[in-house]
Amino acid sequence: MNSQNIDLTRLPDLSGHHEGTGPVRKKKPVYQDFLPPCNNACPAGENIQAWLAYAQEGNDYQAWLTLTENNPMPAIHGRVCYHPCENACNRTSLDQSVSIHSIERYLGDEAIKQNWQFKAPAQKTGKKVMIIGAGPSGLSAAYHLAKEGHEVVIFEAGPVAGGMMNFGIPAYRLPRNILQAEVQKIVNLGVEIKLNYKVDNILSEKNAGGFDAVFIAIGAHIGRKTDIPARDAGKILDAVTFLKDVEMGNSPFLGRKVAVYGGGNTAMDTARTAKRLGVEEALIIYRRDRDHMPAHDFEADEALSEGVKIHWLRTIKQIDDTSITIEIMDLVDGRPVPTGKFETLEADALILALGQETETEFLKDLEGITFSDDGTVHVDSHLMTGYPGVFAGGDMVPGDRSVTIATGHGKKAAKNIDAWLSGKIYKKAPSNPIIHADFLHIWYKTFADTKTQGHILPEVAIQGFDEIVNGYTDKEAHYEAQRCLSCGNCFECDGCFGACPEGAIIKLGKGKKYKFDYTLCTGCAVCYEQCPCHAIDMFEDKI
């Protein structure tokens, strides 16, 4: 065992495992499957460990097929997902987490390059599903429903598919050719998308089109407002409209200095976009400190590197022409408290990035549908609203909001819609127990730290909207995939087979793992100790 790669004090207590070996064996080894923490943390429900195993072998196509069983848009998610899987990765107890999102992006890009396509279902069901909204949730639901053989039509009010992925995420983070290539794969599966088609009356559209079920996933496209006293207000915009106008080629005139009010990822994107439009100074005003901002830390780091200034613990009290009066705040028990001290900042335009809301007014006529105070729609555990056969997901239902969460909602909705169309109720299979780092027995030398994806220089990045992050090469992606520890699931390392002193372990062939010959096993637990991923447990043996 390499003591530089694992803390020996973290190994489980094996006392008692050796007790009663031989003819009076009290415990016997049993192969077990556990749930890796990366899989458990993925909002889209990807089987991350499984597709990483194929990527380790260099079998990119099979890795992509396995990945897209749950998430049809890996090239997108590899760029915009905030990868909670990596925060959960057991590898962090050794050095650094596996860069899962980088490998996912590589596989998605490779699929686009090689023109890999999804396999059409063997037969059609004759059922027809209407989806409102071509954002991540709607596209995900359409993909999974089409794979089940249902006919799917998406109605999108905008001129292009993608929803907030297209209008809320700047092109320097998500190139539009990548986004549309992923959408096209879903279209090629047989999904129809009707653009510039706003649905005002769901039941009328449902009956006219002969749809059997409806999934509503319109996203949150309305910028949240706030009341700010203004004597002679200058230009005030909301971030959602601003980013959409930039995407549509209708960039507003901002002047020399721009202030952005808010502390989320949208605020960071807005300020960075303003810099790319040529403003001399872009500054962010946020009422709390950095530790309490909703934006992810790397988003703030990248914004600061590009010259964006951030004023923490500040709140806007008044706007007067090109000046903004801000009050300095103090944190008391984590909450911002006014201090009575004020400052003045100069800005030609103010952009509000205070969150987004969903337009759900058109659903009020549907009997049985209820709403939260913020306008989001109530759904049950199957994502069905109070109106039978009408489901909802993504940003329009209560909960956290992200592209990956919305994608997971789409898959969940598709499974429930598919069951409902057959007169059944979908029940998710129970998960295996989660395997934590303390249960691993790492005895082999591990790989070095992860290689981060390259970034273009900040001074170059702000010159335009070219992608700022470079992807992995095939060699880098395969190397990084090999850093996966296969937590909780056998990867056929032969550790148990080689360690057994009684020859009680039988190899079943590649991909079939092993089995025990209990007539030879003495219960010595050496196989248990040698299993690096804890795919073997010791159980009481009554003989």
User: pTM (2 decimals)?
Assistant: 0.90
Q: Using DSSP, how many helices (H) and how many strands (E) does the chain show?
A: 18, 20
Written out in words, the top-level CATH class of the domain with range 41-116+454-481 is mainly alpha
CATH class, range 224-355? alpha beta
Neighbouring C-alpha atoms within 13 Å toward the C-beta of 471:
25
CATH code given to domain 128-221+358-421: 3.50.50.60
pLDDT tens for each residue of 84-95: 999 999 999 888
d(CA 246, CA 268): 15
Q: In this predicted structure, what is the pLDDT of residue 307?
A: 96
Region 398-421: mean pLDDT is 93
Residues 6+ apart with CB under 8 A from 450: 95, 96, 97, 98, 99, 480, 483
pLDDT averaged over every residue in the chain = 90
Tens of pLDDT, residue by residue over 483-517, are 999 999 999 999 999 999 999 999 999 889 999 99
Stretch (H or E) spanning 101:
helix 100-114
Alpha helices of 353-494 — where are they, by DSSP H?
403-421, 458-461, 474-481
| Cα 458 to Cα 463: distance, rounded to the nearest angstrom | 9
Question: Sorting pLDDT into bands at 50, 70 and 90, what band is 361?
Answer: confident
What is the three-state SS of 316-358?
A: EEEEEECEEEEEEEEEECCEEEEEEEEEEEECCEEEECCCEEC
Which residue would you say has higher pLDDT here, 14 or 227?
Answer: 227
What stretch(es) of the chain map to CATH 3.50.50.60? 128-221+358-421, 224-355
With cut-offs at 50, 70 and 90, classify the pLDDT of residue 444: confident
Provide the pLDDT for residue 221.
66
Confidence of residue 62 (pLDDT cuts 50, 70, 90): very high
Considering the chain, what percentage of its residues have pLDDT values greater than 70?
Answer: 94
> In the predicted model, is pLDDT for residue 4 greater than 60?
no
Q: Is the pLDDT of residue 396 over 90?
A: no
**Bridge partners, residue 124, by sequence:** none
User: Is the pLDDT at 231 greater than 60, yes or no?
Assistant: no
For residues 341-351, give the mean pLDDT.
Answer: 94
54 pLDDT exceeds 90?
Answer: yes
CATH of 8-33+490-540, one of 3.40.50.620, 3.30.1280.10, 3.30.70.20, 3.40.50.2000: 3.30.70.20
pLDDT at 13: 46
pLDDT tens, position by position, 105-153: 999 999 999 999 999 999 999 999 999 999 999 999 999 999 999 999 9
The CATH 1.10.1060.10 domain(s) of the chain lie at: 41-116+454-481
Distances from the Cα of 219 to the Cαs of 134, 351, 357, in angstroms?
9, 21, 8
- At 344, the amino acid letter reads T
Q: Is a pLDDT exceeding 80 seen at residue 398?
A: no
Q: Please tell me which residue, 365 or 504, carries the higher pLDDT value.
A: 504
Please write the tens of the pLDDT for every residue from 279-334: 999 999 999 999 989 999 999 999 999 999 999 999 999 888 888 999 999 988 88
Strands 536-540 and 27-31: antiparallel
